[in-house]
Structure 1
Amino acid sequence: MNKKTILITGASTGIGKTTAQYFAEQGWNVAATMRTPEKATGFEAFTGIKLYQLDVTDEQSIARAIDSVIKDFGKIDVLVNNAGYGAVGVFEKATKEQIQKQFDTNVFGVMNVTRHILPHFRANGAGTLINVSSMGGRLTFPLYSVYHATKWALEGWAESLQFEVRQFGIRIKNIEPGAIKTDFMGRSMDVFSKPDLIAYDTYEAIATKNTEESYKSAPDSAVVAKTIFKAANDSSYQLRYPASGQASLFLFLRRLLPLGIFNGLVRLAVEKGFKN
């Protein structure tokens, strides 16, 4: 039986790295892509993983990486659009450049890689496109307005795209994690800053503290890797896969409750201690 091959973007750390390692442990060929593979660590023990340079904002690097993976492994069965960028904070403090970078990576980057892989999937008459989205693509929290905008865009794009590509046996899968213990709240996060704008300071400090508390009890990235593996092996056309107990609960409540009541629950949790 031929091994299946998966290409993962943003595989140097966090969810992407854990997913690459998990698929290799399950016997897959893994093309782990990242902007600087020469700096990557933690892959040496995995014989099924090969590293490739790919920047989702650089179309030449995308084409080069996909061609190299097909040359090395024969074909690509699954693409995981995982590369992401998190810019959060008070929207009024955001710069045009930060907003642009958020969309360039989380939306346009995903679209770039997908446009390059679709001809290969069509030629094969099969392929699975997996997007690492977020429960934040279907509900919202304070201080994440720009991040939510990218994930809501991703969800709508994928929901529409599935109609077009189904005729070719191509499946679209969106993975929707909740809070996950990765470096997202640390090294990977870009916080909007405008020192002379102090009107939001009290609210921002309280909302940030309460949000960070929720990450302390969050599961690690293995729960997402296992959900991605489930989606990759699912021959149905199911679109959405909540990737944690928290995500399942929050998404259920968002469907069940009127928006005003749901948002009231969000305020109770995230704005706890804020006097308005």
Structure 2
Amino acid sequence: MKKTVLITGASSGIGKAASRLFHANGWNVIATMRSPDKETELTKLSGVLVTRLDVQDRDSVDAAIRAGIEKFGRIDQLVNNAGYGQNGIFEATSREKIQQQFDVNVFGVMDVTRAILPHFRANKAGLIINVSSGAGLFTLPTLSIYCASKFALEGFTEALAYELLALGIGVKSVIPHGGVAETNFRDRAGTDFAIDPSGLPDYNTFLESAQQAFATMVAAKMMTSADVADVIYEAATDGKNQLRYLVGDDARGFVKARHSMDDQAYVDFMREHFAH
């Protein structure tokens, strides 16, 4: 019997790549997105249901889950992929922007997860895979709000895994780090960058230094959306009780530093990249 996965944020990037991969391996796929009427590729695939789900609209969450169950009989796994990165200086970031970041990256994940748990409990089985970020393991300047949301997601994922283990429901985190090509993440982060140089000139020297550091980081090898999708599929099918799956090129050494250095040595290492 075919298994069924529900994937959020399937209109582009990692979500679309994961939808393609699960379908290619014989799964039923509920590919959800905010504007399904704009989708032209996934709608042509048999065994794929393209339907609306906006993580900020709880009615759409419930409707998508109902539609998936009606179409395929049951849902076996959930991939919480929808998310974006708020960029900019914290002082220049409005409370509304901060609220939206958490509404999508944290509360949206929680709402979709809460909505599907009764179905998983009834089946006495299920797997939740949250697509996180290296920004949930280490922090970067001008990404304080995004990092805060991903640190929250990592904490939620880990604690939830303990809660659901005895119910036969697994929880895993897939953590891309180092930058993902073929997504609109950087475009949106650039568009939403929160800073008015004329209003906060005190940050200019730091921003110039940080931008040089980021330019060097971006020049490093980036993974593709398909690379991340491969690891999502591995987490979905390997049968392991593993919590975290890292994917990416740690050429910058941030992950290694976080895991191998004592706290102050790690902070000093990171400061060297951004403060001159």
What TM-score do the two structures reach when normalised by structure 2?
A: 0.92
CA distance in 2 between counterparts of 1:219 and 1:213 reads 16
The amino acid that maps onto 1:119 is P
Tell which deviates more after alignment, 19-28 or 201-210. 201-210
Residue 259 (1) aligns with residue 263 (2): yes
Structure 1, residues 231-267: CA drift from partner, whole Å, max 9, x if none? Answer: 0013222111101232995323211102222233323
Cα deviation code 1:31-53 (max 9, x no counterpart): 11011111124325533322110
1:197 corresponding residue in structure 2: 200
Q: Give the Cα–Cα distance (whole angstroms) in 1 for the partners of residues 252 and 23 of structure 2.
A: 27
Which residue number corresponds to residue 20 of structure 1? 19
- Pairs within 5 Å for 1:14-93: 14-93=13-92
Compared CA separation, residues 98 and 199, structure 1 to 2 (3 A): same
Report SS of the residue matched to 2:208: helix
Matched, 1:187 2:195: no
Decide whether aligned partners of structure 1 residues 91 and 156 sit closer, same or farther in structure 2, where only a CA change above 3 A counts. Answer: same
Cα distance in 2 for partners of 1:242, 1:250 equals 13
Residue 152 of structure 2: aligned partner: 153
The residue correspondences of 1:163-178 to structure 2 (distance < 5 A) are 163-178=162-177
Structure 1 unmatched runs, 5+: none
- Tell me the distance in 2 between the aligned counterparts of 1:248 and 1:124: 43
**How much does 1:152 deviate?**
0.7
Q: Could you list the per-position Cα deviations for residues 33-80 of structure 1 after superposition, in whole angstroms to 9, with x for gaps in the alignment?
A: 011111124325533322110011111110000000000011111101
What is the letter of the counterpart of residue 192 of structure 1? A
The alignment of Structure 1 onto Structure 2 pairs a total of residues equal to 271
C-alpha spacing 1:52/1:135, structure 2 compared with 1 (3 Å): same
Cα RMSD between the aligned structures?
1.8
> Would the aligned equivalents of 1:180 and 1:215 in 2 still touch at CA under 8 Å?
no
Where has structure 1 moved over 6 Å in runs of 4 or more? none
Percent identity of the aligned residues? Answer: 45
Contact 1:177–1:247 (Cα < 8 Å) also in 2: no
Query: Which whole-Å CA distance do the structure 2 matches of 1:187 and 1:99 have between them?
Result: 15
C-alpha deviations, 1:69-109, integer Å up to 9, x for none?
Answer: 00001111110111102111111110011000000000000
Q: 1:225 is aligned with what amino acid? A: A
| Aligned counterpart, 2:210 | 207
With over 3 angstroms needed to count, the CA separation of the structure-2 counterparts of 1:221 and 1:215, relative to structure 1, is farther
Residues 13-41 of structure 1, C-alpha deviations (whole Å, 9 max, x = no match): 11111111111111111111011111124
Asked if the contact 2:217–2:252 (Cα under 8 Å) also holds between the matched residues in 1, the reply is no
